[in-house]
């Protein structure tokens, strides 16, 4: 493996030791296999006891939730003992936390609150059998993901990427950015945001009709918009890779971070407010081996501020007939007015922590899809073609809409809202990837789907971490896809086909090339 000088001079480059990983990872212990067999055995036992009415639905949910959390803790703890480097940005660890534990583990505590509190956030105050059926699929998915991650297939994929001549040629190990490219990214990002606002397709200010009419080009606006996060990632790498970063670099980092947060508020998307902060914290961790002390307080404050500003804005946006989603001024005015009105009311309604917990949980909402599938041997006309959408994911990823007029629109969340949940309005509802795969082929589809997820997590993580700064940019660009498994499971494959080549080119242009 080629190495680079480790001094901090502008004309020299280093591959941070934290970003180097060995080519092989021997796994001789039988402990991981024991975890998996035990988790599956206990899941089957809980299912049997529920079937025989030896457990109530409430106790079944408690048992499944505890089993999920304890099993994933054991897997993560075992991985920590063997591989500490970049542990907290390992996709399998983060997916265990966000896709599994947060959505189907700790947030299940909601169902043991008083009934009026649970009903207040729109969830069922009664634990149903379908919720336990979904939890069984979740446990199967968790075990399958870790089986895939531990498999030899994932390790071999990682080694193939590390030895790839194409990636060796195109990936830059540098942690220095080309400033003209960085400023160009920011300028393009700003123009894309303003154009999206003008066309009425920006964030929560858009309407369903506007999004449908702009379907042929909106993805390109989103891609241009995301160059702002690429610039944030690049300048954060330059600041944290070396101990002696300049004051100008640090000021630029906070300016770009502030720019992304402000437009996150204007988008009406709460995740867009905190994600830039999390991204900077992750880059810091990747270079220093620890998270900054300010990260958790900043994320908590950001979430509270996002809920305080964005929830009233969403209500006002629909209630105010004078709202103009194509005007930046109207968006700012509406958000400010809504926030002031909400403050004057004293924040009436359910608490922000309760809202966050309810937003994270997918147990009840996802279980509705299992009940719907069981009651409909054939799905109603106009339902998504779940299996076909997975099979055709490569075509959906690569063929532009202007060349494929009948290319399906991603309206699966709207279908779920209208057909499954039974709400007659234009809102997208997340069903969970387990519900999606249940529509594809029941438990077997969940097992094979998450087995593949684990394989790809291992292969991409091991392969990309080998390439220094450029590899880190590509990995972080894919991290959201690998960690927060989308309810529209076919989009997992679409993203992994579409974005890696774009990210490889992006890091090649953004980072300075080393002097060989």
Does residue 160 sit in helix, strand or coil?
Answer: helix
- Token pair, residue 366, equals 């996802």
CA atoms within 13 A on the CB side of 429: 26
pLDDT, position 481? 95
| Interval 4-21 mean pLDDT | 40
- Ranges of each domain in the chain: 17-163+442-470, 179-359
pLDDT, position 10? 32
pLDDT, position 251? 94
| Interval 4-32 mean pLDDT | 46
Q: Are 431 and 375 in contact (CB under 8 A)?
A: no
pLDDT, position 346? 53
pLDDT in tens, 315-356: 888 888 788 888 888 888 888 888 776 655 555 555 677 878
Does residue 446 sit in helix, strand or coil?
Answer: helix
Q: Are 7 and 242 in contact (CB under 8 A)?
A: no
DSSP secondary structure code for residue 408 in this structure: P
DSSP-assigned beta bridge partners for residue 511: 177
How confident is residue 504, by pLDDT bands cut at 50, 70 and 90? very high
pLDDT, position 323? 85
pLDDT in tens, 73-105: 999 999 999 888 899 999 999 999 999 999 999
pLDDT in tens, 197-245: 999 889 888 887 787 788 778 888 999 999 999 999 999 999 998 877 7
Please report, for residues 208, 336, 403, the alpha-carbon distance to residue 201 in angstroms, rounded to integers and kept in the order given.
9, 21, 22
pLDDT, position 345? 58
pLDDT, position 515? 53
Distance CA 104, CA 283 (A): 28
pLDDT in tens, 34-80: 899 999 999 999 999 999 999 999 999 999 999 999 999 999 999 99
Q: What average pLDDT does the chain have?
A: 87
Does residue 320 sit in helix, strand or coil?
Answer: coil
The residue behind tokens 């599938």 is 373
pLDDT in tens, 475-500: 999 999 999 998 899 999 999 999 99
| Interval 152-168 mean pLDDT | 94
Residue 9 has pLDDT above 50, yes or no: no
């Amino acid at each position: 493996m080629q190495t680079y000088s480790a001094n901090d001079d502008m004309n020299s480059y280093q591959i941070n030791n934290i970003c180097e990983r060995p080519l092989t990872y021997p796994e001789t212990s039988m402990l991981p296999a024991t975890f998996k067999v035990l988790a599956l055995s206990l899941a089957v036992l809980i299912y049997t006891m529920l079937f025989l009415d030896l457990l109530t639905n409430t106790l079944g949910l408690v048992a499944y939730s505890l089993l999920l959390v304890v099993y994933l803790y054991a897997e993560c703890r075992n991985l920590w003992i063997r591989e500490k480097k970049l542990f907290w940005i390992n996709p399998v660890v983060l997916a265990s936390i966000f896709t599994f534990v947060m959505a189907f583990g700790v947030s299940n505590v909601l169902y043991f609150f008083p009934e009026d509190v649970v009903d207040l956030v729109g969830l069922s105050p009664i634990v149903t059998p379908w919720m336990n059926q979904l939890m069984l699929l979740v446990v199967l998915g968790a075990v399958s993901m870790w089986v895939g991650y531990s498999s030899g297939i994932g390790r071999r994929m990682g080694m193939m990427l590390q030895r790839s001549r194409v990636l060796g040629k195109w990936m830059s190990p540098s942690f220095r950015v080309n400033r003209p490219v960085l400023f160009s990214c920011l300028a393009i990002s700003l123009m894309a945001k303003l154009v999206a606002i003008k066309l009425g397709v920006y964030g929560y200010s858009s309407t369903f009709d506007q999004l449908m009419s702009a379907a042929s080009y909106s993805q390109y606006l989103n891609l241009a918009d995301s160059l702002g996060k690429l610039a944030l990632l690049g300048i954060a790498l330059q600041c944290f890779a070396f101990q002696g970063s300049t004051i100008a670099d640090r000021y630029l980092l906070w300016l770009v971070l502030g720019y992304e947060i402000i437009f996150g508020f204007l988008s009406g998307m709460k995740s867009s407010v905190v994600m830039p902060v999390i991204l900077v914290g992750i880059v810091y961790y990747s270079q220093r081996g620890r998270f900054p002390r300010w990260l958790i307080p900043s994320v908590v404050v950001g979430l509270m501020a996002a809920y305080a500003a964005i929830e009233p804005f969403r209500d006002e946006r629909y209630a105010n007939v004078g709202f103009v989603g194509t005007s930046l001024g109207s968006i700012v005015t509406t958000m400010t007015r809504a926030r002031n009105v909400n403050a004057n009311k004293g924040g009436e309604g359910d608490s922000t922590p309760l809202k966050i917990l309810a937003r994270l949980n997918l147990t009840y909402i996802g279980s509705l899809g299992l009940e719907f599938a069981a009651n409909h041997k054939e799905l109603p006309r106009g339902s998504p073609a779940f299996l076909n959408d997975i099979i055709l994911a490569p075509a959906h990823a690569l063929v532009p809409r202007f060349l494929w007029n009948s290319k399906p629109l991603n309206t699966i969340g709207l279908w779920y809202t209208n057909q499954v949940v039974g709400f007659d309005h234009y809102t997208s509802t997340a069903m969970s990837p387990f519900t999606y795969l249940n529509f594809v082929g029941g438990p077997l589809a969940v097992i094979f789907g998450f087995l593949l997820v684990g394989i790809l997590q291992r292969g991409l993580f091991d392969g990309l971490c080998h390439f220094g700064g450029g590899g880190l940019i590509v990995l972080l660009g894919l991290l959201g896809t690998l960690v927060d498994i989308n309810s529209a499971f076919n989009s997992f494959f679409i993203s992994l086909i579409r974005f890696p080549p774009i990210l490889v080119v992006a890091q090649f242009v953004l980072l300075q090339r080393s002097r060989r």
